[in-house]
Structure 1
Amino acid sequence: MDNNIAPQTNEVVTKPTSKLKKILFFSVLAVIILVASTAAYVNSENKKLVNSYEDKVYPGTFVFDTDVSGFTKSELHTVLEEKVNEISSRKINVTIGDSKFEKSYLNLETTIDYDTFENEVLSFGKDKNFKEKLALIKEPESRSYGYEVVYSEAKISEFIDTIAEQVKIEPINASISVSWDSVSVTEGQIGYELNKDELFNNIKTALQDIHGDELVSIEGNLKEVDPEITAEALKTVDTKISSYTTYFQPGPSGTNIQIGAGMIGNVLLMPGDSFSTVEAIGPTTPEYGFVSANTYLNGKVVPGYGGGVCQISSTIYNAELRAGIIPDFRTYHEMTVGYVPQGLDATIGDEWPDLVFTNPYDYPVVVNVYASGGSITAEFWSNSQATGGVTYEPKAYQTGALSADTYLYGYNSAGECISEVYLDSSVYKPF
């Protein structure tokens, strides 16, 4: 047995001296100060970076395919102007048949809403907080903006109106002629006009195409325009519904009557159309062959160009009443005339007074006036059903030596009076 015992060793832990503590303290402090200084510097730089974009476009921004990152409003505006100038240099070519019409975009006042678009691009991200703004700048995501082209719709309309005026083909109304109890109808012709709404929309679509061609071709279309008066409507005229004839002596008045009757000839009145005797005859001047003849003026018989044409209006008036048509305006002469009874005359002047009436029927009416061999006749032609089978007869009753009251009576097929209409009273001056 080994009785030797190993000696025990005791470790001695030494505590840092006060000097070492100080070294550690200042080392840690230095690190803290460095970190804080670095953070402050970085933060300061980040603020500067964010602030530098307050009036600039954020990174990653494109206007169509153009990168405008970091652009000021002025720089962005310059880019946009260049793009608008490119668009304005384009042209539109409209083809209609063999005709071509060209207009530049510039003439249509193409542009964009600069302020609205620029503010939209520049304002992106400006409402975010600091961290979000910093992220948009340092880690940008690509985004693209597109604008709409604006233009003058009035200029487009002017362009289209010019085209429409040059390509239109007016329709030709059917016509009717009555001669010696024979009715002849001439067919009308279809017209053509530009489809303005369609062309307007096609031009707008072309202008809105930002990436369109330098020369945009558009085909315009014409649409048919029917005549207002068709042969089918005129072919319903098949009956002389009234007629009246008066007589005159050869001489200046007779010459004027024949000329005036020839001026009227055949006048077509569609339903609702009005007839003016003054307009139908036209100016009674020497240029149209009228001569000086006796007229009534201020209670006296005096010479005047066109004297005698009142016999035309009086003859028409009597035929008109027998057609069952009441005048819109009629006035009697200053003094009596010899070619119609008192109360059944109708005087006219160069402009006024006038004999005016309107076609009240659902069918066309043709007023046919002709003069020959010392007589003038006025005929009214329409459909056989126009008057509903009623025969009309005017009557003037003498109420004095120089006055009369006029009535219009209607008779059915049995000859029975079924209507009575008071027309007016006529009062004449003595010669």
Structure 2
Amino acid sequence: MKRVKKISLIIVGIFFVCNIQVVQGIEKEGRIHKNIFVENIDLSNLTKEQARKKINEILDENNELSLIYKDNKYTIKLNELGIVYNVDEVVNESYNIGRNNTIVNNLKEKFKLDMGNKKTIKLNYSYKEEELNNYINEIDKKLYISPINATIKIESGKIITTKEEYGQKIDKEKLKKEILDKADNIYAYSVEIPIQVAEPKYKIEQLSKIDTILGTYETHFNPKVINRVNNIQIAANATSNILVNTEEEFSFNTFILNSNSVKNMKEAPVIIKGKLEKGLGGGICQVSSTMYNAALYAGMEITNIKNHTIPSAYISKGRDATISLGNIDFRFKNKFNTPILIYNEVFENRIVSTIYGNKEDKKDIEIVTEVIETLPNKVVEKRSEDFYKGEKFVEQDGRVGYKVNTFRVYKSENNITKEFVYESFYPPMDKVIVYGIKSKDIKSAPKIEDKNIKTEFA
């Protein structure tokens, strides 16, 4: 028995020594040990260069990926998506197996490999996020079918709706995952493009709830001021037939600017530094002011409002809403659970703004304004050598200023609630009178009529 055991030990020892010699021979030749794989690529007895070449050849053969949806097929190479494999890293790791440990541990590792144990190394990759996303976006553009919103319009005072249509779009995150899974499985050749339904923003179910007038208001204008009427019509159209969804904010300036209607506006009176002067777009503030009051009556949350510096002739103090494109905006938010529709109409001498919504949101509302302070203006006297003694003229007409509070009053059977909305400030303007101090000299008398001024004599 002892003899058999001794013989067995001798055989194992001889095998072990032979194994060491073989391994040492392989190491001398700079080759990877047998039974070492990268994924399922056998690198046994290959040099680093041979292993690198073998892996790259297989990757090149399987570099092409087809994305398929029905009859549509899009082919691209993985390296065009910025996908790069860590070939050098796995080759070095393969080569170092049985080399980068202690002598005893290296021998144990090599012995296991010689006995048929397989060592598999995972091939990892990196990719460029932007390039992959850009490619997926390009495919999405080709397959995208835009959904069509349900529509709503007012015809002869009636609310007319049409049904929505659904579209389609790529499930971008899912497609991205499947492409990267393909990068993990180097022998996969195609991917089915995942498609999902593109839902419209507005559906008939929502818009059918718009069934009543929540608030309406009208102001009047002089139809003979042609340029101003033109601007009112343009601004009213640009801000009409607008749906505002739940929790969305309406911006007057946004719709004016997005409509490109500014290019068609004409010169009409505008307020510049507290004075009426000619300027592009005069009259559009009458539209914003009319809409402001419709929004107040409709129960909208006013999120941005500013009054003019001069009280307006077409509306009461405290109820105007000035705008300045790119600077001062009129905005409100829909806090109701259903969308609302803004609808403007311009008639011969008036503009009507109406907000439609759900009858459950309709409130009994009254708008109240209170002048809390009247601010007197000053009379400023100036002396000028450009005019004769005894002459005077009004260089600037003055006006009284005001502070006005605006309230929204909600009425119900059992309760009345008063909500503060805004404090309007109309600054006073000094009246400036110029007195002449020049001695009379007929030869050098100025031509008063050449000066565009209002003159009166004492």
Verify same fold: TM over 0.5.
yes
Structure 2 counterpart of 1:359, from 310, 334, 345: 334
Structure 1 counterpart of 2:233, from 237, 258, 262: 258
Structure 2 counterpart of 1:229, from 192, 195, 202: 202
Q: Which residue of 2 aligns with 1:165?
A: 141
| Shift, 1:249, TM fit | 0.9
The one-letter amino acid of 1:192's match is Q
Distance in structure 1 (CA, Å) of the matches to 2:140 and 2:120: 34
| Shift, 1:323, TM fit | 1.6
320-329 vs 108-117, greater mean Cα deviation? 108-117
* 8 Å CA contact retained: 1:121, 1:145: no
Q: Which residue of 2 aligns with 1:275?
A: 250
| Shift, 1:335, TM fit | 1.4
Distance in structure 2 (CA, Å) of the matches to 1:205 and 1:372: 63
Structure 2 counterpart of 1:174, from 143, 150, 165: 150
Aligned residue for 1:385, secondary structure, equals helix
Distance in structure 1 (CA, Å) of the matches to 2:415 and 2:110: 104
| Shift, 1:334, TM fit | 1.7
Aligned residue for 2:85, secondary structure, equals coil
Alignment pair present for 1:99 and 2:72: yes
Q: 1:52 to 1:392 in 2, by over 3 A?
A: same
Structure 1 counterpart of 2:52, from 80, 85, 104: 80
Alignment pair present for 1:406 and 2:405: yes
* 8 Å CA contact retained: 2:234, 2:261: no
53-62 vs 316-325, greater mean Cα deviation? 53-62
In the alignment, structure 2 segments of 5+ residues that lack a partner are 1-15, 375-399, 432-458
| Shift, 1:197, TM fit | 3.6
Q: Which residue of 1 aligns with 2:160?
A: 184
Spell out, residue by residue over 1:86-118, the C-alpha distance to the aligned partner (whole angstroms, 9 max, x if none).
222321111112221111244354434433444
The one-letter amino acid of 1:219's match is E
In the alignment, structure 1 segments of 5+ residues that lack a partner are 1-42
Q: Which residue of 2 aligns with 1:111?
A: 85
Alignment pair present for 1:396 and 2:372: no
Q: Which residue of 2 aligns with 1:294?
A: 269
| Shift, 1:62, TM fit | 5.5
Q: 1:243 to 1:142 in 2, by over 3 A?
A: same
Spell out, residue by residue over 1:11-51, the C-alpha distance to the aligned partner (whole angstroms, 9 max, x if none).
xxxxxxxxxxxxxxxxxxxxxxxxxxxxxxxx999987665
The one-letter amino acid of 1:408's match is F
TM-score, normalised to structure 1's length?
0.76
Distance in structure 1 (CA, Å) of the matches to 2:280 and 2:106: 100
Spell out, residue by residue over 1:33-76, the C-alpha distance to the aligned partner (whole angstroms, 9 max, x if none).
xxxxxxxxxx999987665454545765464575733x5xxx23
Q: Larger % of strand: which?
A: 2
| Shift, 1:395, TM fit | 1.4
Distance in structure 1 (CA, Å) of the matches to 2:166 and 2:156: 30
Distance in structure 2 (CA, Å) of the matches to 1:67 and 1:329: 71
| Shift, 1:353, TM fit | 1.9
The one-letter amino acid of 2:209's match is T
125-134 vs 163-172, greater mean Cα deviation? 125-134
User: RMSD in angstroms over aligned alpha carbons?
Assistant: 3.5
Q: 1:327 to 1:158 in 2, by over 3 A?
A: closer
* 8 Å CA contact retained: 2:239, 2:344: yes
Q: Which residue of 1 aligns with 2:126?
A: 152
* 8 Å CA contact retained: 1:186, 1:231: yes
The one-letter amino acid of 2:235's match is G
